Structure 1
Amino acid sequence: MLELYKTDSITTIEDLKDFITVIFVIVDDIYQEVTPAYIKNRKNSKNSIMNDSEIITLSLSGELMSIDSKKAWLGYCKKNLKELFPSFCSRTRFNRTRRALYRTIELIRHSLTKFINLHYGCFRIVDSMPVYACKFGRARFHKTFTSYAPYGKCASKKETFYGFKLHSLITFDGYITDFILTSASIDDREALWELTDNAKYLTILGDKGYIGNSIRTELYSERSINLVSLKRNNNKIQLPKKLRQQIFKKRRLIETVNSQLSEQLNVPKVLAKSRLGLLARLETKILARNICCFINKFLRKSMDILKIKQLLFE
């Protein structure tokens, strides 16, 4: 299906309605291919006011608009998107269905990434970012994620926080191919094993948090993964200067990606009442961003796939 977008595609998106229509077509095409029959044909699904593709599309669009309140977003859609969605289910039904479709959203993301991987080489960047269960001063009163969210440290921000870590593998132009969510106390090197569980024959660039001869040797021997990490300043053995400059240049990209995740998609804010709700929100946010990258690369033929805001606000 996705092969069609190489030759038969649009190059301009006029407004928000155009953008939502493009997202719906992509989501619905992949949904029909990857969704198991027991989900498509579940009880009373034919009597639903909104189908699964519509709910997923609206969820993705809301995340890209930086609207965390589902009540506010659905209210806007009911007033302004009647041409695209003639009928709307209740807000509670919408939220329950969105959470229940967590695995389906994950399947759509994997299918899109599988297609994307065919067009990328074997180089990735790895990094992590904090996801705050609550503000640090309220941590001892927090009850929702008590069994999941311990304290951890973020070296780049030089802070101790309470919550989770989002670990990502990113291509050299900014597409997120894999991610996992761990507790804040998990070491980045330990998380890298799970992050690369289905990966082989990669060269991964990491920062100083991924230094370690043992993990580098084991990754190479077991998965043919070459981990390249910057040495600490007090280390006698340093990488060649030109190689370090190239790594610094590529790793600057991660700052742009993390900025999009933080400022536009509000990833560091949990705003969920359960672990399933949190995972559903993350899957939706990452898929929303990945679809924008896909649109920029294959539909708009843009060399800079990170121009996500331009799709919505130009």
Structure 2
Amino acid sequence: MPELNNLYSFWVPLQFEPRWEQHLLESSLKQRRRQGALCLSEIMTIMVGFHLSGYQTFKHYYLNYVLRYQRDYFPGLVSYNRFVELLQGSLVPLCCFLTSRFGQCSGISFIDSTKISVCHNRRIGSHKVMADFAARGKTSVGWFYGFKLHLVINDQGELLGVKITAGNVDDRDVVPELARSLFGKLFGDRGYISQPLFEQLWEQGVQLVTKVRKNMKNKLLPMFDKLLLRKRSIIETVNDQLKNISQIEHSRHRSPVNFFVNLIAGLVAYTFREKKPSLNIRLPQALPDVVA
């Protein structure tokens, strides 16, 4: 926690916050701009710390851990209800900080999407919090109501791209945007099969590699590509860690903004984990051939 606090305290107030305020729209109403008890960097640190703590609910984490044991690091701690109100102002800084934590493309990338349910299917009719943003979608395990989290990672488990869409968005629609800064080969499941998408990515310098469906003709692939397709589960492991360790998916949100704050903070927390799922294939004699 102290290491995270020092990092945010440098990045947010000194580098990001002054530039961010220059682009904010001014309100016609007079507003006081006094310094709050908690600065923006402290709010972000507490949120990211929650996803690294192992607690399943933020309320228990804040009441039972932060308020009891973290006052030396955060002297201006506020009540739980007040902290929840302050979270909305950290969404844009968290998104910007997440992009600064992305890894480097090595020529071997994996793409996948996972559902983020906001309520049980039986409560879809009565759910109001995310009614303007969420949508019904379908995965291989059934229907859900909420969002899709699209991820691109490299062979070391580092995030390369993130996009959040409604649950009814086709996985293939977001690939060109996520692959904009990639090169080499991009491995995905059968849900990404599309000849127009393959050709579009090929023009961008990216080769899309997927398995074929049962009703499709088999195609010859290099042995290395076949081995990497079998290792595509690495990105499913990342999704599993985000949901079961970082707690990015739950149905207790009462604010759409706080929902996205929790989700982005969980992604930022993942980038700080020392042990990420990795293929351990970065050999000097192998990687240049893969990139080429």
Please give the TM-score of this superposition, normalised by the length of structure 1: 0.77
**Residue identity opposite 1:235 in structure 2:** M
**Residue identity opposite 2:207 in structure 1:** N
**Residue identity opposite 2:160 in structure 1:** T
- Structure 1 residue 258: Cα displacement: 1.4
The 5 A counterparts of 1:44-55 are 47-55=35-43
Q: Deviations over 1:237-268 (max 9, x none)?
A: 23437245422343121122111011111223
Is 1:279–2:260 an aligned residue pair?
yes
The 5 A counterparts of 1:82-121 are 82-113=71-102, 116-117=103-104, 120-121=105-106
- Structure 1 residue 37: Cα displacement: 4.1
The separation in 2 between residues aligned to 1:99 and 1:289, in whole angstroms, is 21
Residue in structure 1 matching 2:161, options 178, 183, 203: 178
Residue in structure 2 matching 1:72, options 53, 60, 65: 60
> Which ranges in structure 2 are unaligned for 5 or more consecutive residues?
25-30, 279-292
> Which ranges in structure 1 are unaligned for 5 or more consecutive residues?
1-19, 297-303, 308-314
The separation in 2 between residues aligned to 1:122 and 1:34, in whole angstroms, is 30
Residue in structure 1 matching 2:194, options 209, 212, 215: 212
Question: Which residue is 1:168 aligned to?
Answer: 151
RMSD value over aligned CA atoms? 2.4
Question: Which residue is 1:311 aligned to?
Answer: none
- Structure 1 residue 39: Cα displacement: 3.9
In structure 2, the residue corresponding to 1:267 is in which secondary structure?
Answer: coil
User: 1:169 and 1:183, CA in 2 relative to 1: closer, same or farther beyond 3 A?
Assistant: same
User: 1:306 and 1:84, CA in 2 relative to 1: closer, same or farther beyond 3 A?
Assistant: farther
**Residue identity opposite 1:234 in structure 2:** N
Residues 115, 149 of structure 2: 8 Å contact kept: yes
The separation in 2 between residues aligned to 1:66 and 1:99, in whole angstroms, is 23
Question: Which residue is 2:248 aligned to?
Answer: 267
The separation in 2 between residues aligned to 1:26 and 1:202, in whole angstroms, is 33
For this pair of structures, how many residues does the alignment match?
Answer: 269
In structure 2, the residue corresponding to 1:165 is in which secondary structure?
Answer: strand
- Structure 1 residue 45: Cα displacement: 5.8
The separation in 2 between residues aligned to 1:36 and 1:87, in whole angstroms, is 22
In structure 2, the residue corresponding to 1:101 is in which secondary structure?
Answer: helix
Percent identity, aligned pairs only, is 23
- Structure 1 residue 172: Cα displacement: 0.9
In structure 2, the residue corresponding to 1:164 is in which secondary structure?
Answer: strand
- Structure 1 residue 286: Cα displacement: 0.4
- Structure 1 residue 225: Cα displacement: 2.3
Question: Which residue is 1:126 aligned to?
Answer: 111
Question: Which residue is 2:286 aligned to?
Answer: none
The separation in 1 between residues aligned to 2:4 and 2:220, in whole angstroms, is 43
User: 1:49 and 1:27, CA in 2 relative to 1: closer, same or farther beyond 3 A?
Assistant: same
Is 1:139–2:121 an aligned residue pair?
no
User: 1:211 and 1:37, CA in 2 relative to 1: closer, same or farther beyond 3 A?
Assistant: closer
In structure 2, the residue corresponding to 1:88 is in which secondary structure?
Answer: coil
Higher helix content, 1 or 2: 1
User: 1:122 and 1:85, CA in 2 relative to 1: closer, same or farther beyond 3 A?
Assistant: same
